[in-house]
Amino acid sequence: MSEKFVLATHNSGKLSEMRDILAALGVQVISPAEAGVDIEVEETGSTFAENAMLKAKAICEAAGLPAIADDSGLCVDALNGGPGVYSARYGGEGLDDRGRCMLLLEGLRGQTTRAAHFSCAVACAFPNGDTLTAEGRCDGAIAFAPIGTEGFGYDPVFLVPGKGKTFGQLSAEEKSAISHRGKALAAFVEKLGTYLKK
């Protein structure tokens, strides 16, 4: 595919995963910085899909290029699906990834129901107003302590059933083969192929 896409994210962990997955699928991407765009998009939507579309449209408009955004998060059964769309902001501004993981473990202390899933919505906006969307989900469980140093965000506390490992113990390739983001981007690229043939 000759068209270039801006990846509408400021999260370096996401950016690197999205770059690798999309490159493997033959989609050329650049970062917002490479597109000369530096805007913060307010995530006012109540769903991953709404927030992904807000980001994709804003960056597309600012860059004048098609833009792909990811909105994602961790949904924990024992927290009624939280932190969900608030995953990046869980615990307030003072916390880093490690702090958010520890806060989550603290909130689940003594809790035997550990089921959780990651969700990812991908949205793509084109300068002509066209849009594409796709979603992906990865089921798992919350560990009792952080394990592993790979990945980002909640990876060290997300246990993958069948692997007996957290996302924090998987290589980027191993994670993307089963992750919410890997699935959403694969579904998106399939739709993109159909769209570009039209």
Q: Which of 60, 67, 118, 140 binds ligand ITT (CB under 6 A)?
A: 118
Cβ proximity to ligand ITT, 157 vs 189, nearer residue? 157
Among all chains, which residue has been given the structure tokens 């919505």?
Answer: 121
Q: Interacting stretch for ligand ITT, rule CB under 6 A, among 102-110, 129-137, 148-156, 190-198? A: 148-156
Q: Interacting stretch for ligand ITT, rule CB under 6 A, among 18-26, 56-64, 125-133, 151-159? A: 151-159
The C-alpha R_g of the chain, in whole angstroms, comes to 17
Helix, strand, coil in percent for the chain, rounding step 5? 40, 25, 35
In single-letter form, the type of residue at position 109 comes to R
Q: Is 154 a binder of ligand ITT (CB under 6 A)?
A: yes
Q: Is 135 a binder of ligand ITT (CB under 6 A)?
A: no
CB of 19 to ligand ITT, least distance (A): 13
H-helix or E-strand spanning residue 128: none
Query: Which residues lie below 8 Å from residue 76, measured CB to CB, with a gap of 6+?
Result: 82, 83, 104, 108, 115, 116, 142
Query: Closest Cα partner for 114 from 90, 139, 137, 95?
Result: 139
CB of 170 to ligand ITT, least distance (A): 10
Cβ-in-10-Å burial (0-12, 13-18, 19+) of 164 comes to: exposed
CB of 125 to ligand ITT, least distance (A): 14
Q: Interacting stretch for ligand ITT, rule CB under 6 A, among 6-14, 57-65, 142-150, 189-197? A: 6-14
By CB under 6 A, name the binding residues for ligand ITT: 9-11, 14, 43, 55, 70-74, 87-88, 118, 151-155, 167, 179, 181
